[in-house]
Structure formats: structure tokens, C-alpha cells
Structure 1
Amino acid sequence: MSVDVSVLQPIYRDLYDLLGETELLKVFEYYRGAQVTFPVHLYQRTLVSQAIAQREMLASDCQALARHYGYSERWIRNQVRKENRPQ
């Protein structure tokens, strides 16, 4: 039996529109009854900082990385400075 879209809860209707019926049912079964909050950033701050630490950085990279990871260019530059400090 297929999903009756006309009576779905609003969030499930949104997921149905975004993902389709099969994926909606997977999400429903997996998270059923749980309250889920999505972070503002897709990428985890500490892991982004570690990834930046492992790169050779150019000034132009900061802007591109800021766009890619969704953090401010200022924050990216601060992470680069922290890693370049003598310890």
C-alpha cells in the first residue's frame, strides 16, 4: 500500500516532496518518535579545523574554504593562524 500524501504530517510531507516515498519511509522507520534538530552548519567545526591544519594554505584558499564549509572567512583565517603559531 502506498503513502496517502493528503494526510501526512507537515514535516513528513516536506520529506516526501524532497526525497520521495521510499526514502521518506526509510527516514520514518529510522527516526520514528525521535526529536531531531539539524545543526546550522553541515560540517563539524572541530573536524573542519583539523582538516585546515593538515593543508598548506594560501591566502586565496580561505575564501574558497569558507564558501565550501559554510563558515566565515574570518573563522577560517583564525584557524590557519592558530595552526601556524609556534608551539
Structure 2
Amino acid sequence: MDVDTDALQSLYKQLNDLLGTEEMLKFYHEFRGSQLNPPMKLYDRDGTIAAIQSHYPKLSTKELANKYGYSQRWVKRVISQHTEPHD
């Protein structure tokens, strides 16, 4: 499809600049007419809990917080609530 990028709607122009024409067209065909409200966090809470459990203590709480976009306090709470005490 020959796309006139100068005539694109502003959202599609931004996507075209960011992703390229082919990927912008995929987005257009998949989501046109939809109202999108993307979550602020990239990672799902439950998936993040599982990831923290698998990566701790190889990664520090600070590294995990930075990686998954949650606070260090929340990561520490997850670790304390979801790790079994060792005897």
C-alpha cells in the first residue's frame, strides 16, 4: 500500500515515525476505531511477582524495582510475602 505520510492523522504519523510504515499499518488494521487506554505499567502485577520470585536474590530489590517499574518498597513486600522462610 502506498502511504502518503504527509496526510496521516497525527497518531498514525507518530506511529509511522516511531515504528515505520509497515508496522504502523499493522497497528492501523488491528486497532482502527478502537479506544485505547494503555496501562501505565508495562508489566502485569502477577507476572511481576512471579518474575521477582525467580530472579531474587540474583538481582537486588533495587534492580528488580528498576527493571519492572515498581517501587523498591513494593518489591521488598513481595519478597517478604511470597518467599517461604528457610529452616
Aligned pair count? 85
Say which SS state the counterpart of residue 40 (structure 1) adopts: coil
Amino acid at match of 1:66: A
CA distance in 2 between partners of 1:55 and 1:79 (Å): 12
TM-fit CA distance, 1:56: 4.4
Partner residue, 2:42: 42
Partner residue, 1:15: 15
- Percent identity for Structure 1 against Structure 2: 38
Counting only pairs closer than 5 Å after superposition, residues 6-85 of structure 1 correspond to structure 2 as 6-57=6-57, 61-84=60-83
TM-fit CA distance, 1:36: 1.2
CA distance in 2 between partners of 1:16 and 1:56 (Å): 39
TM-fit CA distance, 1:3: 1.0
RMSD: 1.8
CA distance in 2 between partners of 1:27 and 1:40 (Å): 19
Question: What are the ranges of 5 or more consecutive residues in structure 2 without an aligned counterpart?
Answer: none
* TM-score for the superposition, normalised by structure 1: 0.84
CA distance in 2 between partners of 1:49 and 1:14 (Å): 33
Say which SS state the counterpart of residue 60 (structure 2) adopts: helix
* TM-score for the superposition, normalised by structure 2: 0.84
Is the Cα–Cα contact under 8 Å of residues 57 and 80 in structure 1 kept in the other structure?
no
CA distance in 1 between partners of 2:83 and 2:20 (Å): 47
